[in-house]
């Protein structure tokens, strides 16, 4: 359930802008590669809304993936270089699988990709350069695209796997810490209305994925982990085929922390995206 207002009132917070989708008539669309001539990278616009972003650490033992859509865990990784994709797959993927199984009780976790990010001032988030923090509110998968990923990635098993509960869960962590620059904020999924979520096309070279863009709603309640350490990780539930749990879709975004020093080291982070299977 949503955290009670009395609990939130006792939490420290910062006031910062969250960039929400400007309502539009056509379907939102974003390209992951150089689009055709005359076509913009995106047909969307975003507008900032000042919100309170609360310290999640004091309530870490009260929030959960099913109750709120996110969870904070402690996990010290043996990875030496997170920008070495081979080492990440060999060392980090098994670590992530263990964490998610422990937290969710799932019998199987299928990791399908990861993204490392290094913020460079003034750079746009493009696939042909260092990936940048995403500074607009979004959800990586939808009620439709979560199951579709199972069909895409595990076609021979999809029908059987989709008879059970399937979740898309991301594990996000800092590579360098403590994080001051462009920290990640997550929204309590029980404070959103399904009408806030706008299915949007994410266009790849050989397929079109679907994400949720998010419209502003003053009911949204935001959280982050101040000075987040490299031995801490956030679990985010992007989608869930089970419909009777409070939290199914979790908006999130990087934001500019007004308390961060001007010389804060640029944020470096990694997120791993997983399909999580329950019987």
What digits encode the pLDDT tens for the residues 186-233?
999 999 999 999 999 999 999 999 999 999 999 999 999 999 999 999
pLDDT at 94: 98
**Measured distance CA(27)–CA(212) in Å, rounded:** 11
pLDDT at position 28: 97
**What six digits make up the tokens of 128?**
């042909």
pLDDT of residue 72: 98
Stretches in the chain below the pLDDT threshold 50: none
Q: Are 49 and 136 in contact (CB under 8 A)?
A: no
Q: Which of 56, 88, 19, 80 is nearest to 235 (CA)?
A: 56
Residue with tokens 């590579």: 175
Q: What is the pTM of this model?
A: 0.94
Handedness of CA 24, 27, 28, 29 (dihedral sign): negative
The predicted pLDDT at position 203 comes to 95
Query: Closest Cα partner for 19 from 222, 258, 254?
Result: 254
- Domains of the chain in start order, with CATH, are 5-278 (2.60.120)
Cβ-proximal residues to 169 (8 Å cutoff; 6+ apart), any chain = 65, 100, 104, 235, 236, 237, 238, 274, 276
pLDDT at 8: 84
Closest CA to 140 of 99, 168, 100: 168
Decide if 267 contacts 174 (C-beta within 8 A): yes
Q: What is the pLDDT of residue 65?
A: 98
């Amino acid at each position: 359930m949503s955290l009670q207002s009395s609990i939130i009132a006792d939490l420290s917070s910062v006031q910062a802008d969250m960039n929400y989708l400007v309502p539009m008539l056509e379907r939102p669309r974003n390209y992951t590669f150089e689009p055709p001539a005359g076509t913009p990278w995106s047909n969307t616009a975003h507008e900032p809304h000042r919100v309170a972003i609360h310290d999640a650490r004091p309530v870490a033992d009260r929030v959960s993936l099913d109750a709120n859509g996110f969870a904070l865990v402690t996990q010290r990784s043996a990875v030496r270089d997170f920008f070495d994709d081979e080492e990440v797959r060999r060392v980090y993927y098994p670590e992530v699988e263990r964490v998610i199984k422990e937290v969710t009780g799932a019998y199987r976790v299928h990791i399908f990709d990861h993204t490392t990010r290094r913020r460079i001032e003034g750079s746009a988030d493009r696939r042909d350069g260092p990936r940048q923090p995403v500074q607009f509110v979004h959800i990586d998968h939808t009620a439709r695209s979560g199951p579709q990923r199972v069909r895409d990635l595990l076609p021979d098993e999809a029908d059987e796997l989709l008879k059970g509960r399937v979740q898309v869960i991301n594990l996000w962590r800092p590579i360098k810490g403590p994080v001051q620059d462009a920290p990640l904020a997550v929204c309590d999924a029980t404070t959103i209305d399904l009408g806030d979520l706008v299915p949007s096309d994410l266009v790849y070279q050989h397929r079109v994925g679907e994400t949720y863009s998010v419209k502003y709603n003053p009911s949204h309640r935001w959280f982050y982990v101040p000075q987040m350490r490299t031995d801490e990780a956030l679990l985010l539930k992007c989608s869930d085929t089970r419909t009777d749990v409070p939290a199914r879709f979790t908006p999130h975004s990087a934001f500019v922390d007004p308390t961060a020093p001007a010389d804060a080291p640029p944020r470096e982070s990694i997120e791993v995206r997983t399909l999580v299977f329950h019987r």
